[in-house]
Amino acid sequence: MKMINQKMMLFFVSALALVVAVPNIYAVNEGNNMNRRTATPTDFTEAAESTINSVVSIKSFATPRQSYSPFDDPFFEFFFGPGSGQQRKQQESKPQQLGLGSGVIISEDGYIVTNNHVIQGAEKLEITLNGNKSYTATVIGNDESTDLALLKIDAEGLNAIEFGDSDELKVGEWVLAVGNPFGFTSTVTAGIVSAKARSIGSATHSRQMGIDAFIQTDAAVNPGNSGGALVNTKGELVGINTAIYSRTGDYAGYSFAIPTSIVKKVITDLRKYGAVQRAVLGISCSELTSDIADKNDITAITEGVFINKVEDRSAAKEAGLEANDVITEINGSKTRNLAELNEAMSRFYPGDKVSIKYYRNNKAYTTEVTLKNNQGNTTITKNSDFTALGCAFQKVSDKTKSRLGISGGVQVAGVKAGKFKEAGITDGFIILTINDIPVNSEADVEKVYNEIMRDNTPDKVMFITGLYQTGKRGYKVVPLTEEE
């Protein structure tokens, strides 16, 4: 994590339950005029009342990684009695609370949206409603690029939040942040929209996420607020609270939320396809600066996205865009910077036709572009799950290992219709590595599979190295996405 602005850093606002200390609580001196708040022109009570029952607490649990433990030492049982070491080890191996965050109910039948970093690494997710009723959640889908995740609990008649239009937000407009900071449930804080389409990456000189266009507010957000609601004064959801700038990890003046213009698209895709459908132009670009403008004699405009390179076989190339062009609008939405370009593009699907306004040699032009996906086509892709491989895996016998001169691997069994059969893998084939990672059990295969599916690269593929029963080496390629 890079240091910025006098050691200010970006923090995601989920709380690590095992390391967050209970802070000292100080009373505000009401006699100090600096701490007094003038009467606000807006009544927030209706917005707060309509929102708190739609925001939930999310606790994540995971089993600690096993390492050497003193309970393994036979002297432990000598001093504390037979079986005591095993008993302590069993206690240690139980899932422990990993973190704390918030989520927003988006449907009466139990769908909940939150941040991906709130649920990442969790083996169990416990959802607690505002009325203290708890449920275990299932992850429907998650997307690391936008830091969003969609969960489901088995419940009916829940208080679903109403979506608002983040595009209609204005800088200076009042908003409320609702969540569970430090474990304090149903907490509401107020602030104003400080900026829109804010790029965190440009401030930190890093790319924290694939889509970098946030609502910036000064509503107080702290650890535990991650995944909670940012609402307008009507109580409508306009964003999902995600990150803060801070020296300490606690609120220091500004917080950042993913706008609903992005949230709606992502959760719709996760629910329908299991993966976010991303449309791309196929360009490398940067924001138009005075240096770039001077170097390229650009005088007609001062803002926009400067094209450095157009990729071969891309949507941009087919539409006639060239290096040194400056994109200023997509479908009527201004693209004054990379954040606005990312936000505009996040709404589209492969195959969508959009109008692009751009400048070339200081003259304005408009062209129509048919967007493509990362694979260079216009099809919709769906992520498969582990069962789509269509086979079982079993341990390789010691006799077979000795005969083939190998020390590890996992054997394929019971091949039926699925990804492996399509790739020409048959019963008895021994997998040694997947994407250069050694595998020795079904759990190893599933772990590699899940890592591939979580990766943001466009090609989700297993590159398998293995052996046939004859000892002949085999190399297989297994695509994991499905086209509609």
Residues 301-305: contacts with CB under 8 Å, at least 24 apart: 301/326, 301/328, 301/359, 303/328, 303/336, 303/337, 304/328, 304/335, 304/336, 304/358, 304/359, 305/335, 305/337, 305/338, 305/341
Number of helices (H) and strands (E) in the chain: give both, helices first: 12, 28
Q: Are 293 and 302 in contact (CB under 8 A)?
A: yes
Active-site entry in 60, 102, 147, 212: 147
Catalytic annotation present for 226: yes
Active-site entry in 54, 60, 117, 199: 117
Rounded CA Rg of the chain: 26
**Whole-angstrom distance, CA of residue 28 vs CA of residue 5:** 28
Give the H or E element holding residue 404. helix 398-404
**Whole-angstrom distance, CA of residue 433 vs CA of residue 424:** 17
Catalytic annotation present for 117: yes
**Whole-angstrom distance, CA of residue 413 vs CA of residue 287:** 53
Query: Residue 94 carries which side chain, given as an amino acid letter?
Result: K
Catalytic annotation present for 205: no
Active-site entry in 60, 194, 226, 246: 226
Q: Are 114 and 240 in contact (CB under 8 A)?
A: yes
The catalytic residues are: 117, 147, 226
